[in-house]
Chains A and B, each alone.
Chain A
Amino acid sequence: MTRLATIARRHRFGHAVLFAVTVCLLVGTASVDPLLTRSFRNALITFHAEQQGVSGSQVQFESGGTSPLSIAQLEKAVDPRVRAVTAAPIESRTVVVSSLKTVQPVRIQSTQDACAHVHLVSGRCPTARNEVMVAQAAVRGNGSKILHLGAQLPVTGSTLWAGDPRLNPRKTMRLVGIFTVSDDNPFWGGTGVGDYAPPTATSTSPTEYWLTPASTFAGKVPTAPQSQTKDAPPGVSWLGITSTVSYPVLPTRLNPQTLPAAVAGVNATTAKLGQQVTVFESLSRIQELTHTDVRQAGQILPFLLVQLGVVLLILLVQVTSYFGTARRGEAAVLKMRGNGTRGVVRFGAEEFLPSYVVGVVCGLGLAYVVDELVRRLWLPGDVDAAWNWTACCAALAMATLVLVVWLVCWTAMARQSISALLRVRPPRTRGARLSMPLAVLGTLCLIGVILTATKNLTGAPVQVTPVLLAGLVALVVGALLTPVAAWLVRRLLARRRAAGALAVAQLGRRAGVVTAVATLVITSALFTLSISQFARGGENRAARTAADLGAPAVINLGTGFDTVSGQALEQAVNSVDPHHRDFSPAVGIASATSESNAILGVVPSDLQRMGLRTGLAQPIPWSALRGGGSTDEPTALAATWTLPANTGSVIQAPTMMDVDGPYRVVGTAPYIPGAGARTLVVNLATMLASGNRRDNVTYQVFSATQNPHRIAQLEDATRKAGFASATVQTETKTRASYDATATAWAMNLSIVVSILSVFAALTSVVLVAVASRRDRQSDLRALRTGGVPRRVARAATVGEFALLTLLGTVIGTATAPLAALLTGPTMLWWSTPPAEPLTRTGFMWPVGVVAAAVLIVLLLVVATVFGLRLARAADKGEGRTA
């Protein structure tokens, strides 16, 4: 039997290839899920790790004060789980001193391997005790008369840590080098060693960094008063030395397993070191940003791939049934030669075993290739490939399912009697018919649809509902196809439309047509819905990005230890943009509690202009804020999504006088761009006039431009005004963070999945054509014998396939809006529940209709061309037979 199977396989190589491809796609679909889930999760974490920038690229343990821990003590205490995701530690010692020449606080820092991470502009790297190098920016800021190579720079220790100022030793530093540092060098962990911050009247922060070798810090801490006119002896060190151990985070080592472990490790280390240590780390933030996505990636992808799996399973049933039908004659011969049912099954198994094995192996390989392509071409970050046992198990599970499907289909054929097998093809059915398995399937589909419609099925599982709905529609279409076709034939014949009647008649009686129509219905629905959701998702993310920022960019300002004011911010903005063409200042009081709300003071005329630029659909009544109201009861705008306020109502919220006060609502909008949850928007001028509160006050600047030069000008101005830092959040960056989410990626992937499904449906149509080849030739012979012109017969063949495609795609695409209506409100549009009522969930009609039209036309053209070829082939076959 093995030899016979080998010869049979060679004879029907196309069947072997088709089976192998089907198995390959099924196994690939199953096994790609764990791989993609891993890649999605890792990419999400890597993306957010990289988004933290250089300032979040290290886990820093810093110990200072009067009795700081040594570097060795710090390193010993660091949890191994932290070390697992970080590179070798970078050791630093810093001390803040006062430069007697510049009369400014400066930070002297010794960092291991510092010289390898700076660019020396002139001089050399400091190697001896009390040698320093300074940033070129500092030289420019102080003037080269003070800071020049060879300059002697006397300094005294900071008074911050010394109860007695006389404990501060005096030392003289010698300038031996001038350097610059690249801003994006992660080695420095975001510390601005290359920057120079001009001194302000109120500022006590160091203006610059002086880099020095570790030997500068050698010596004992002074315990007795030191001379303030002479340098301290070499054996005396500084008071207030801060020891820092920085562990550079390795994003490639972060994954859903190591990240929570590392965060736990950081917490454990912090607990172990106690209050003596300050920890700067971004791992907790990364975990906070990604944990929802990471969880959802594990839910969305399986349900998404189930859609493709269902279509491919239908194709597998069709392919296996076709193979069985094509071998009925052989099965009869084998049975007449004494092979029972088992013998026929064994023959099939031996013929298809190599294809099966090749399909399974290639499927697993395909999954890895797809995963590799997705990671390389699509996902952010450098996530490495890895062997995945879950993928293997999924492949084996799908391989087993394929085996069961094949066995069921094949055994059903093999168990038939010889006389039944000799009929070559199964008897045709008449009238509406629904088998028990299909009835059960239909019931399951109906239950799924009802559960979704009643919102009992929500979240990621809702992704399967379109398949269930389309499957239900397909089952109904399949059950009614034959009787409706018969009715239509009678109508067409009555109107003497022979070609049409023949086409419909052929469509209604061909074996496999119902399966092909079902596949087309499901895939067309999925394709149209996927396109609609893809476009809707993009629109939602764009709207939410615009709403989040309220402007193309927002510069959030940090106050550090210095006290700044809203007036200082206004002055800084006015200094670079007097007419507020590009920048508009905003001050917030972020003290929303259960009893109180947050406040955001803005310049209404500026935001009106910028709001228009962001293109939000909802108009914001900025003009109502122009007056600002009185300082006792300022006017405010309320976003009704979190504040159930009406125009005229009075709401309590914090004021600049450090107490809550009343605000009169003069306008509402569903959402106010730039304002967070439970935030009243007020006129900045009125707000600042009411008081000079400092605590819980935030400062930001709305920017109508993303021009880095202009933003840099503003940053300089704000720094001069006393703001310690500036974080620029652009629309592009915000949109990127929304695009790098499990939900957004799933929408992109659904396009690929639906396109693959359409190909599977086309294969199904081709199978119908191939399986009915003999039938068609026989029909055409009969028609020709009955006097039907060749032209009419050919038109009937073309019409049969055009109708088949049209029926499936039109019904399928028409199902898509219904599926959108059902699933839209409960499906996962966002990785975290959207805080704004900006998410639109309905069918995206313009895009959806265009997609449906393109699909219908495309498949119709393919079917017509295919039908023409079949008609010609049938004509030739008829000619040969004649």
Chain B
Amino acid sequence: MTVNDATAATVSVEGLVQIYTVDGQDTAALSGVSLTVRSGEIVALVGPSGAGKSTLLSVLAGLTTPSAGRVQIAGHELSGKDVGRLDSVRGTDLAVLLQDVSRNLLPYLTVRQNIELGWPSRLARSIDADAILDIVGIDPKLRPQPLQAVSAASRQLTAIAATLATNPAVLLADEPTSSLTGAEVRAVTDAILRANEELGTTVIAVTHDLDVATALDARIITIRDGRIRMDARGGTTELLVREDGSIPLPDDLIRQFPAGTSVVVVPGAEPGTFVVRRATSEGPQ
């Protein structure tokens, strides 16, 4: 198990609570979520519907004001008062890909125009539409086409290209492969992987499809009932040390280490690693 240093993270969430009020009833969508994501990392937020993953993404994207907790993204602290403060750094530090592809694009523009236009002048100069369209893999023949004339996958790739056009530090993608199938899904995941590889973009994607998470070779964070239940990558589970020194465990580890279990922590073979073992009656080994 590896414990990350939160100060070096691109995204840092600590004790995030999000409460909605529906018909006078308070409902907790997120209950004390803590998370760090390093620069260049790909994170897949997975979980069942209503688990809170889209809410988490919305908070990270600065679209929803958190009820409580601390969120820092790309060096910007999100206070609980002003989510609009992030508007000025969108495009450079933060990009959001919404689930409905049409909400990411301007319908009356062509594929290329959707990349080139709609940016403030401070960002417009740095945009190389062909380069980013190459990265996401859109055929040059499709680039002058109106948006309505291209396939759903191409529209999604255009949306990804548009969000990445200004080379943002973090890409927050909500269900980037929804309503796509087979080869289309692969095209999208390949595009995200290439962007991550070539641009170094940190990606946090919400998906309900584990295959997508796997295809992205992502660190998988499972969210259920508003809590992070598992944070794993290639058999390694990451845990966050809370301010009070406690370490919340995901469900699968809790099953192995039920409450009251005594554990021993010993230095691992590599520097900065530790091995956690259940303590035996003989004492730590």
Contact = CB atoms under 8 A, between A and B. Distances in A.
A289 to B, nearest CB: 62
Interface stretch (B73-81, B100-108, B134-142, B225-233): B100-108
Contacts of A336: 90-91, 95-96, 98, 104, 163
Contacts of B123: 337-338
B106 A330 contact: yes
A7 B109 CA distance: 8
B87 A340 contact: yes
Interface string A322-340: 0000000110111111111
Interface string A1-32: 10110011011100000000000000000000
Contacts of B96: 336
B201 to A, nearest CB: 16
B113 A422 contact: no
A417 interface: yes
B220 to A, nearest CB: 26
A329 B166 contact: no
A416 to B, nearest CB: 9
A4 B121 CA distance: 12
Given A3-B117, A333-B118, A338 B106 contact: no
B10 to A, nearest CB: 18
Given A335-B87, A337-B91, A338-B89, A343 B120 contact: yes
Contacts of B119: 337-339
A417 B123 CA distance: 21
Interface in A381-421: 417-419
Contacts, number: 79
Contacts of A4: 106, 109, 113, 117-118
Contacts of A7: 108-109, 113, 117
A417 B61 CA distance: 12
A10 B110 CA distance: 14
Nearest to B124: A1
Contact of B103 (A3, A8, A10, A333): A333
Residues of B in contact with A, size category: 20 to 34
A199 B63 CA distance: 106
Contact of A337 (B63, B84, B113, B120): B120
A57 to B, nearest CB: 67
Please indicate which of the listed interface residues B96, B109, B120, B163 has the most CB atoms of chain A within 10 Å of its own CB: B120
Please indicate which of the listed interface residues A1, A3, A333, A419 has the most CB atoms of chain B within 10 Å of its own CB: A333
A330 B98 CA distance: 13
Interface in A688-726: none
B84 A417 contact: yes
Contacts of A417: 63, 83-84
Contacts of A334: 118
Nearest to B166: A338
Residues of A in contact with B, size category: 20 to 34
Given A337-B90, A337-B120, A338-B119, A422 B84 contact: no
Contact of B120 (A11, A338, A419): A338
B87 A422 contact: no
A338 B92 contact: yes
Nearest to B109: A7
A3 B88 CA distance: 22
B167 to A, nearest CB: 12
B83 A340 contact: no
Contacts of A418: 62-63, 87
A339 B120 contact: yes
A419 B103 CA distance: 11
Interface string B118-131: 11111100000000
Interface in A415-434: 417-419, 422
A4 B104 CA distance: 15
A339 B121 CA distance: 9
A137 to B, nearest CB: 83
Interface string B43-85: 0000000000000001000111000000000000000000110
Contacts of A10: 108
Interface of A: 1, 3-4, 7-8, 10-12, 329-330, 332-341, 343, 417-419, 422
5 contacts: A4-B106, A332-B103, A338-B88, A338-B119, A338-B122
Given A335-B90, A339-B119, 13 more contacts: A4-B109, A7-B117, A12-B108, A334-B118, A335-B87, A336-B163, A337-B123, A338-B89, A338-B119, A340-B88, A340-B120, A419-B63, A422-B63
